[in-house]
Structure 1
């Protein structure tokens, strides 16, 4: 009878612990990145009653509490620094006061006053730095880049232009475009086209002499269908053009896409801008036409920009953080780190949605999203708890019934013992 009492008591203890785990699961049903746990039980060593091997168990004990690492559902948010891992992996964070490293699935991050990406408790998110040349560095704190981006001088421009094939000799058409020098200052180019009366056009580039100097020019012609003659030539600014008695240029012309050479002023570097109207095969790309209709500009583009201020930050599925600046430039500055483990169930719970490496989990394998076994990263998204309330309520009812049954074992054993005591009376 004493044995049955101990067995019943062990059942009460085990199911009390199980109910505590179930309660913890239910309490964290709305906790970001929380992983539900399951309790496992084991029987206590049996007693052998005879040489024949007859054994009687001594009750039950809680064998373990095992986190379930299947992914929770993803919920969209309005914050670009809310991140979730699609698949395997945990974010890596460090405690700035101790330098200790922890891991989490809860990607509710924000920028602190020092520009570091941190958890709500101030732990700093780790990633790989990216310099201005695009080179990826070592693991470090993810922090906002410099608030301004450097200017970039224009190196290429394009026009979408139609030049009227019926234009008379001396008719002009001017197309202006704003370019930028190495200091980010505007340099407005006026490309002036002058009709020669036979379907061809001479062109030259004018600039404001207070910002730069330029004397590049050339000549373009079209076939009977209005398509650009790819043998069109231009005269480089480094070439001195000599005229013969008829007023025609006598020095050699340069073929291919024109290169507009500009001498910078006020400390700006000289500019060399390719005007692209030929494709890689040397054929016309269709941007310049000579149809019998009004001369007009339909499009233009150039690749330079002035200095800009940081406006926002985007994060892609590979975990790259890209600064978006007011000048239109987009510059990656970091890539978030993810950690994988040989055994996730061996991770030590540290509270605040954090886990720590342990002997049971094995050493962390640090990498980046979409590499090896690691999943992708979703921005403006949070992973919800993977607690299933329906399952938890079923477990709760089962545990309650088990507790009641073990209580009955104790009361019944007590009644039997009472009967034995009463026999003596």
Structure 2
């Protein structure tokens, strides 16, 4: 079989993968907090027809002769650059300006947090019990709770942000006697109750986290990510501190897909697919010529 046939097949297969990624990017152009992916190619091993030789007394050196055997996908990289913001005016719609991820999760029967997921999607709601939850899947928004002393003074327990194992759901009705609670969320993630007389009482703090290598995160669907062996562990903290961005209430982050780039990539990928198809058909014609020589 001709080497060119195998090269053309590898080109078709991998350009199809690139087209799949481009198509998914375009499909998610209006998906909240979606991060675009880019496909990069590499050549695969080459067959050596003759090796190199060093210069000798009466002759110069000779370079090696190699024939490539096609190409493969080098990597599919996620671009975690921040997307455009969309103002909604809704208090529970949150956007991180800068690096960081919201932390969400479910609770077990003992009220402890199960597996923590990470997301940039800030479409949160308040459920019937007063918990701030994801509007996509109902996972609790996690962060630090509050403690109340005997005099009724409340203090945010920021030590809850020391580990993912001590995170707590944020509940705006925890200290309410009933009725709707008017609350606000500040840039540092603090959630505060605003009473009729203007008194402000803390209700908790939205925690955020960052990773040393966010490109190593795994997508799990529903705009969620989980850590991988190459992302590093989550570094949790207060919004606006260290490497963490601040939180804006009343806005959400949209997709960072650049349609002009995706359409350009689509055309280039299509041409690459067509060129590799031509390699296969031309190689097939050569094989037919060889077969016909026997007739």
Instruction: Flag whether TM exceeds 0.5 (same fold).
Output: yes
Pairing partner for 1:63 from 57, 74, 77: 74
1:79 correspondence with 2:86:
no
1:188-227 alignment, distance < 5 Å: none
- CA drift at 1:134: 4.3
Q: Give the equivalent residue in structure 1 for 2:187.
A: 317
- Mapped to 1, the partners of 2:154 and 2:71 lie a distance apart of 60
Residue by residue over 1:160-196, the C-alpha shift from the partner in whole angstroms, topping out at 9 and shown as x without a partner, is: xxxxxxxxxxxxxxxxxxxxxxxxxxxxxxxxxxxxx
- Mapped to 2, the partners of 1:327 and 1:311 lie a distance apart of 13
Pairing partner for 2:253 from 364, 377, 383: 383
1:329 correspondence with 2:199:
yes
Contact 1:310 1:323 (C-alpha < 8 Å) held by counterparts: no
Q: Give the equivalent residue in structure 2 for 1:105.
A: 120
Residue by residue over 1:323-368, the C-alpha shift from the partner in whole angstroms, topping out at 9 and shown as x without a partner, is: 1122322112111111110101100110000000111101110111
Moved more, 124-133 or 375-384: 124-133
- Mapped to 1, the partners of 2:228 and 2:5 lie a distance apart of 38
Q: Give the match's secondary structure for 1:95.
A: strand
Contact 1:147 1:310 (C-alpha < 8 Å) held by counterparts: no
Pairing partner for 1:117 from 126, 132, 143: 132
1:166-177 alignment, distance < 5 Å: none
TM-score, normalization by structure 1: 0.61
Query: Aligned-residue CA RMSD in angstroms?
Result: 1.6
TM-score, normalization by structure 2: 0.87
Q: Unpaired segments of 5 or more residues in structure 2?
A: 53-63, 161-166
Contact 1:310 1:324 (C-alpha < 8 Å) held by counterparts: no
- CA drift at 1:36: 0.4
Q: Give the equivalent residue in structure 1 for 2:107.
A: 96
- Mapped to 1, the partners of 2:15 and 2:294 lie a distance apart of 36
Structure 1 segments, 4+ long, off by >2 Å, are: 95-98, 130-136, 145-149, 308-311
- CA drift at 1:311: 3.7
Pairing partner for 1:144 from 172, 180, 188: 172
Q: Unpaired segments of 5 or more residues in structure 1?
A: 150-307
- Mapped to 2, the partners of 1:63 and 1:320 lie a distance apart of 43
Q: Give the equivalent residue in structure 1 for 2:8.
A: 8
Matched pairs, number: 267
Contact 2:8 2:277 (C-alpha < 8 Å) held by counterparts: yes
Q: Give the match's secondary structure for 1:22.
A: helix
Between Structure 1 and Structure 2, the one with more helix by share is 2
- Mapped to 1, the partners of 2:70 and 2:267 lie a distance apart of 21
Q: Give the match's secondary structure for 2:114.
A: coil
Task: State the structure with more CA Rg.
Answer: 1
Contact 2:131 2:173 (C-alpha < 8 Å) held by counterparts: no
1:413 correspondence with 2:283:
yes
Residue by residue over 1:129-184, the C-alpha shift from the partner in whole angstroms, topping out at 9 and shown as x without a partner, is: 133434332231111144548xxxxxxxxxxxxxxxxxxxxxxxxxxxxxxxxxxx
- CA drift at 1:422: 1.4
Q: Give the equivalent residue in structure 2 for 1:264.
A: none
Q: Give the match's secondary structure for 2:42.
A: strand
Between Structure 1 and Structure 2, the one with more strand by share is 1
